[in-house]
Structure 1
Amino acid sequence: MNSKLNYTVQKVVNYGSFHHLLITKVGEIFIITNYFPPETGAAANRMAQLAKGLDKNGYKVTVVTPLPNYPTGRIFKTYRGSIHQTSNENNIIVHRLWIYASNSKNKLLRFIAMLSYSFSLIWFFIWNKIPNRVVVQSPPLLVAFTCMLLLKRKKRKLILNVSDLWPIAGLHLKVFKKNFTYRLLEYVEHFNYQKADFILGQSEEILTHVLSLFPNKKTFLYRNYPDFEIPELKQSHQSNNTIKLVYAGLLGVAQGVFKLCQELDYSKIEFHIYGAGHELEATENFILTNPKLPIIYHGEVSRDFLHQELVQYDLAIIPLLNRIYGSVPSKLFEYIRLGLPVLYFGGGEGEKIVKNHELGWVAEVGNYSNLNTVISRIEKSELNLKNKIAVQKVSLTQFDFHSQLEQLIKQI
């Protein structure tokens, strides 16, 4: 038995022909995150999957998160009126704390929202025992800062899970300028890295950045690999040569789906969209005012239903409005597990992954002329069942969640 998992076998109970080991998990770990189901999106999925994986490997897992509010910026209806809710969800204890919810573009309101969750965390830390292993999601920087500042002690291991490089990403998205605010956020970022005992980064670029600041820091490449049942792939029986292109995810400023709708050449494609976010209204208005364009918006759907839908498409597009250092969109790994070839339009490390593993096509980030040229060269015959199976095989052999988690557990 692996002592790392700290299993204690209490007794064996005999029920007829069945023997059940009653096991007490004494390896306790907290996960502190801004996002968690029933919220949707990459961050919520990533933290839920980590919690589930640690639970299955013998840890007693507790998640501390705000009352669900993302991406609408409003507390979900069934949680309104609460300051703190605690529940047992598939053997994982989930504490949902009060937050002043907002998805406003106003920076002050967004700051107040983050600050409110930090205050809730402080109150939670005062009244609850915190175990010796804590995983903290970053960004938001302020939430991570609160945890690093208040939870640091010699016997406690603080594990910082860095999914994006803020404030650097804010510069690329033109959210920040290099002023006093930026320098303050940079200080907070460096403080978080310094105080963390162990840093998980979802890209090589993130780890390179961290190690450039703290060369001796212990790090681990922890990508956002999905873990769901693999659907059966079937040959498409479409008789025409139109390519069914799909985007599924956040309709935010960084993804630039609204601009994509405006710039795509539709001569050989139809474009299907799933998701919600800041650009939803603009995207819907564009579709309504251009009814002759083959753009179909399907709304925001559950992840399980989405997987059933996605396998019917020929090609998935992964766009970023600008190249963001450190970013590798998690939907890349989601798509290829479904056997979907990808058209990568975001540059950086994600582009290299697509090229190196022959997962589809790449277009120069921000260059819509080049994007349309690349699409014009894709033949429907290339998007066949054989090639989809090959893409899926890469996912299963190179980007396996369980193998990655096994390596992580050895280090935490």
Structure 2
Amino acid sequence: MRVLVLSQYYWPESFRITEVVESLQRTGCHVTVLTGQPNYPQGAVFDGYSAAGFGAQQHEAGYSIYRVPLVPRGRGGAIVLVANYLSFVLSASVLGPWLLRKQSFDVIFVFGMSPILQAIPAVILKWIKVAKLVTWVQDLWPESLEATGFVRNRRVLAMVAVVVRWIYRRNDLLLVQSQAFIPPVQAMAGKTPVLYHPNPGELAFAQTQPPGPSALVLEPGYNVVFAGNLGTVQALGTVLDAAELLMLHPDVRIVLVGSGSRSEWLQQEVARRQLDNVQLAGRFAPEAMPGILAQASALLVSLVRSPIMGQTVPSKMQAYLAAGKPIIASLDGEGARVLEESGAGVSCSAEDAVALAQAVLRLRAMPSNELQRMGEVGLIYYKQHFDQEVLAAKLVKHFSQVLAGNKP
């Protein structure tokens, strides 16, 4: 099966679509990738690449990657971000067909992170290549624009909804990363079928601790580790509020591993509030994460309270389950449901600092054998539901059904 994967974000940027491609290869698919110039998250194009460059490169795993120009995202200002998104859409729509002019594909597969507008070049390529189109929806649009505060104008949101409907209805199949996504996506998709296909865990997080010293050595005590993006939807204000409540317990420490749009704000707030129990550890390579997570007493995931966040399963949930550690989830809806179903930890309502602090103390008071059991059942749940190879086989099955013209 010849599969074209289209994603604005790709290796050497750290996104799970790279591992999905390699797992598809292992099933026997012949995979080609169309993407942009790597510049996430720093906002500057990586060394060895050019913002204006385009052409092909061979990945060491044996498949071709075709890159088109784009405007780097810079420091993440609204105007620059819009230019980044639209430049990829334009370049992939115009240059993508030319770069791929001698190739044919059975399926075009879009990794539908925000913005979903990146599926527009895939629609064009579907017509040119006479291929089937499958989009894996990672975020709800336009809801995510409103939830993050990026766009609040009702007229603009309505216009985005029109574009999203147009994209969805030109797909042959839509896959969604959360079961709660099915009703809102189906409402906009018309006759296009919608199926649940969860994100796999990141392979690096599922590995055992590498030999040698860890890239980050945690201090003795009860370390609650948050790993990942430090952005607006992670409810980091709630995390700091909970940390302030936990200052009465000097052995408890909140360790924030990662970077993002709120990194500078976090530094200022931790200093202003004199939160000696909060450690801003910085960003580490995915390969370093198993060694860091292995030292954690518990792992923390948090989101803001909003309808769309309640429908989302944050990607770090899979990574945490794979780590085999107890999990504290400060969120609502689908993410909390997954944790409760796995039995791997405790959850509390989103943006409730008191409940979060109580959840930390509740886990801290549990006997070690109960905590070990939580980690073990979490790992079992991960292998059953989020393993790379299991999900790759299901993905190929979806492609085959689409090619055969079978309705799900």
Same fold, TM-score > 0.5, yes or no? yes
Structure 2 partner of 1:131: 105
Runs of 4+ in 1 over 6 A off after TM superposition: none
8 Å contact 2:223–2:296 — kept in the other structure?
yes
1:86 aligns with 2:62: no
Q: Specify whether residues 244 and 109 from structure 1 end up closer, same or farther in structure 2 by C-alpha distance, changes over 3 A only.
A: same
Q: Aligned-pair distance for 1:154?
A: 8.6
Q: Aligned-pair distance for 1:292?
A: 5.4
1:52 aligns with 2:13: no
What secondary structure is seen at the aligned counterpart in 1 of 2:320?
helix
List gaps (5 residues or longer) in structure 1: 1-26, 234-239
Structure 2 partner of 1:375: 360
Structure 2 partner of 1:220: 195
Taking structure 1 as the reference length, what is the TM-score of the superposition? 0.84
1:355 aligns with 2:340: yes
28-37 or 265-274, which moves further after superposition? Answer: 265-274
Structure 2 partner of 1:396: 383
Structure (1/2) with the larger strand percentage: 1
Q: Specify whether residues 367 and 208 from structure 1 end up closer, same or farther in structure 2 by C-alpha distance, changes over 3 A only.
A: same
Structure 2 partner of 1:237: none
Structure 2 partner of 1:285: 268
Q: Specify whether residues 97 and 351 from structure 1 end up closer, same or farther in structure 2 by C-alpha distance, changes over 3 A only.
A: same
Q: Residue type matched to 1:134 in 2?
A: I
Structure 1 partner of 2:302: 319
8 Å contact 2:51–2:72 — kept in the other structure?
no
User: What do you get for the CA RMSD once the two structures are aligned?
Assistant: 2.4
8 Å contact 2:89–2:117 — kept in the other structure?
yes
Give the distance between the partners of 1:371 and 1:223, measured in 2 at CA.
26
What secondary structure is seen at the aligned counterpart in 2 of 1:371?
helix
Structure 1 partner of 2:142: 167
Give the distance between the partners of 1:401 and 1:304, measured in 2 at CA.
17
Give the distance between the partners of 1:274 and 1:359, measured in 2 at CA.
21
In the comparison of the two structures, how many residue pairs are matched? 376
What secondary structure is seen at the aligned counterpart in 1 of 2:56?
strand
Structure 2 partner of 1:295: 278
> For 2:87, which of 109, 116, 124 is the aligned residue?
116
8 Å contact 1:83–1:98 — kept in the other structure?
yes
99-108 or 135-144, which moves further after superposition? Answer: 99-108
Give the distance between the partners of 1:337 and 1:127, measured in 2 at CA.
38
Larger Cα-atom Rg:
1
8 Å contact 1:55–1:91 — kept in the other structure?
no
Listed one character per residue, the Cα deviations across residues 250-298 of structure 1 (whole Å, up to 9, x for unaligned) are 1111113255224422333201111111111111233344555122222
Taking structure 2 as the reference length, what is the TM-score of the superposition? 0.85
8 Å contact 1:141–1:185 — kept in the other structure?
no
8 Å contact 1:34–1:140 — kept in the other structure?
no
Listed one character per residue, the Cα deviations across residues 178-215 of structure 1 (whole Å, up to 9, x for unaligned) are 52211111011111110011111101122222223346
Structure 1 partner of 2:8: 34
Q: Specify whether residues 175 and 382 from structure 1 end up closer, same or farther in structure 2 by C-alpha distance, changes over 3 A only.
A: farther
Structure 1 partner of 2:68: 97
Structure 1 partner of 2:406: none
Q: Residue type matched to 1:217 in 2?
A: T
Q: Aligned-pair distance for 1:71?
A: 1.2
1:185 aligns with 2:170: no
Structure 1 partner of 2:402: none
Structure 2 partner of 1:208: 183
Give the distance between the partners of 1:203 and 1:308, measured in 2 at CA.
29
Give the distance between the partners of 1:215 and 1:288, measured in 2 at CA.
51
1:385 aligns with 2:372: yes
Give the distance between the partners of 1:310 and 1:29, measured in 2 at CA.
35
Q: Residue type matched to 1:260 in 2?
A: V
8 Å contact 1:258–1:282 — kept in the other structure?
no
Give the distance between the partners of 1:149 and 1:184, measured in 2 at CA.
20
Listed one character per residue, the Cα deviations across residues 75-100 of structure 1 (whole Å, up to 9, x for unaligned) are 12332465125321111211222110
1:344 aligns with 2:341: no
Give the distance between the partners of 1:230 and 1:102, measured in 2 at CA.
31
> For 1:253, which of 206, 216, 232 is the aligned residue?
232
186-195 or 393-402, which moves further after superposition? Answer: 393-402
151-160 or 249-258, which moves further after superposition? Answer: 151-160
Q: Aligned-pair distance for 1:141?
A: 2.4
Q: Residue type matched to 1:60 in 2?
A: H
List gaps (5 residues or longer) in structure 2: 211-218, 400-408
Q: Specify whether residues 408 and 196 from structure 1 end up closer, same or farther in structure 2 by C-alpha distance, changes over 3 A only.
A: same
Structure (1/2) with the larger helix percentage: 2
152-161 or 309-318, which moves further after superposition? Answer: 152-161
Q: Aligned-pair distance for 1:146?
A: 3.2
> For 2:47, which of 62, 77, 90 is the aligned residue?
77
Q: Specify whether residues 231 and 334 from structure 1 end up closer, same or farther in structure 2 by C-alpha distance, changes over 3 A only.
A: same
8 Å contact 2:169–2:190 — kept in the other structure?
no
Give the distance between the partners of 2:194 and 2:366, measured in 1 at CA.
43
Which is bigger in relative contact order (C-alpha 8 A, separation at least 6)? Answer: 2
